[in-house]
Amino acid sequence: MALATKAEKPEKAEKAEKTTGGDPIAEKKKALMLTLEKLDKAFGKGTVMKLSDQKVNDIPAISTGSLSLDIALGIGGLPRGRVVEIYGPESSGKTTLTMHAIAEAQKAGGTAAFIDAEHAFDPSYARKLGIDVDNLLIAQPDNGEQALEIADQLISSGAIDIIVIDSVAALVPKGELEGDMGDSKVGLHARLMSQALRKLTGTINKTNCLCIFINQLREKIGVMFGSPETTTGGNALKFYASVRLDIRRIGQIKEDKDNVTGNRTKVKV
């Protein structure tokens, strides 16, 4: 009798494994399928999918107007549906580069907008660079919040192909404007940029709009090693930007000794 009971024990154990256990990989797949079905019902079909489920297209781009820079960027220009930051010293060609991109977008039938926070837009210069000024949307906001709200609504419309914000340094928070000269408003500008980019990035991607932020350089005090240069508006833009272009003027283009017709620039991608 003792031998019979010993032989029966492994059989019972096998039956228990079949009823309570099973293939763990198959169970994981089943659980995943159920979760995906729930997500589709809650948020719409295709909320979570495998890359193999749909064709992955190349990222569309808008040309910068410079063949060598388009090649350096790798996709033939600045990527649509992304945030781009262009920064550099004064008079290095930051705004000029963005104007060339606007002109290229308009030539392709696109709609462009220019948020002129610096209040320094020159229509005659823009026209010389090939921009259709009559059809260019331009805004000159009173403060940083207003500028970014205008940008958000224009991008959300889905009708804008390229929008330029000139510049981050000029996006003065309302709280700073309402205060007195010399008042310390620590972190207001960085907080404004961080909040705006959290809100804008998803909309920019969905509407396939190219959003370019022009930024200025400042110098950090007391830096002994490394570059003391930094951009304004905190660190948020550095993280959210898919492409950052560092543009520097390296020389002048002259027809003769006294007649300067342009500048030679170097762009670091």
Write out pLDDT tens, residues 154-176.
Answer: 999 999 999 999 999 999 999 88
User: Where does the pLDDT of residue 21 fall: very low under 50, low under 70, confident under 90, or very high at 90 and above?
Assistant: low
- Whether the bond into 227 is cis, omega within 30 of 0: no
DSSP states along 87-149: EESTTSSHHHHHHHHHHHHHHTT--EEEEETTS---HHHHHHTT--GGG-EEE--SSHHHHHH
**Distance separating the N- and C-terminal Cα atoms of the chain:** 83
69-180+193-220+227-268 folds as Rossmann fold (3.40.50)
251 or 56, which is more confident: 251
pTM (2 d.p.): 0.85
Write out pLDDT tens, residues 114-139.
Answer: 999 999 999 999 999 999 999 999 99
Residue 12: the pLDDT is 52
User: Where does the pLDDT of residue 47 fall: very low under 50, low under 70, confident under 90, or very high at 90 and above?
Assistant: confident
